[in-house]
Structure 1
């Protein structure tokens, strides 16, 4: 059974959603995958929040004053992050091995230095996913 987490990531101030996406997908992830090698998740899926240009009718936030999320239910403040990344690992032991590796002081410093280029690290959140039910109706 896989061990799955969701990471909620926000771009650093002054960076556009496109710049964030390009750096995260095009630079950070390939670099990180090489750094951690076989410890990388077996599946890494990115779900980017759809953002549009602000109009007078848009509710905006300080983080996203000109690029509000397309909200169907809820508020802008509840969707102020930029991507939800689903990280699936073979099992809990694989996740724990990755955690042990990336928490080594020299490795953690390398990761933090790269994340400072594109992430507002103070806004990063991660949660363990429980039971997964798929329905095809």
Structure 2
């Protein structure tokens, strides 16, 4: 049975979401791969927050779920709420999460990362390598460049259940 860890990672103050992502993808992940070798997770999945696009003038953009689009429902209260949140969020700053439910402040993290290992032993061996004194210092020094380590959160995930809608995966475009 696979073993997974969920992490919420926050960017360092003064780092844009684009800079954060660029560093994480091109520098940090390769550092972890180099340090862990064959013990690197079987899957290292990164899910970045989507931000409300800002126009050059700073005006509020049209929300992506407008009721008059083919994907909008027009009568669904959740869609109208999402539209209001998105429209209201756009004026709050340059890097505002594209919120569908909740408030922008609920999404302070920048990337949700899921690390999947073959089993618990794989995870423990990976962690032992990364926590070696020299490797831990290398990792910490690298993290200081782009992330706010004081806000970092991680948790072991329980059972993973997945539901797939094959009608959409099989449609031809």
Give me the TM-score of the superposition, normalised by structure 2: 0.72
Compared with structure 1, are the counterparts of its residues 108 and 19 closer, same or farther at alpha carbon in structure 2 (3 Å cutoff)?
same
Q: Which residue of 2 aligns with 1:57?
A: 88
Aligned equivalents of 1:73 and 1:136: distance in 2? 23
Question: How much has 1:57 moved relative to structure 2?
Answer: 2.4
CA RMSD, Structure 1 to Structure 2 (Å): 1.8
Q: Which residue of 2 aligns with 1:47?
A: 47
Q: Which residue of 2 aligns with 1:112?
A: 140
Aligned equivalents of 1:60 and 1:124: distance in 2? 28
Runs of 4 or more above 2 Å deviation:
52-57
Contact residue 35 and residue 130 of structure 2 kept, 8 A: no
Aligned equivalents of 2:23 and 2:146: distance in 1? 7
Q: Does 1:134 align with 2:162?
A: yes
Secondary structure of 2:146's aligned partner: coil
Contact residue 59 and residue 76 of structure 1 kept, 8 A: no
Aligned equivalents of 2:100 and 2:140: distance in 1? 34
Aligned equivalents of 1:12 and 1:40: distance in 2? 25
Q: Which residue of 1 aligns with 2:10?
A: 10
Alignment of 1:89-104 (within 5 A): 89-104=117-132
Q: Does 1:83 align with 2:111?
A: yes
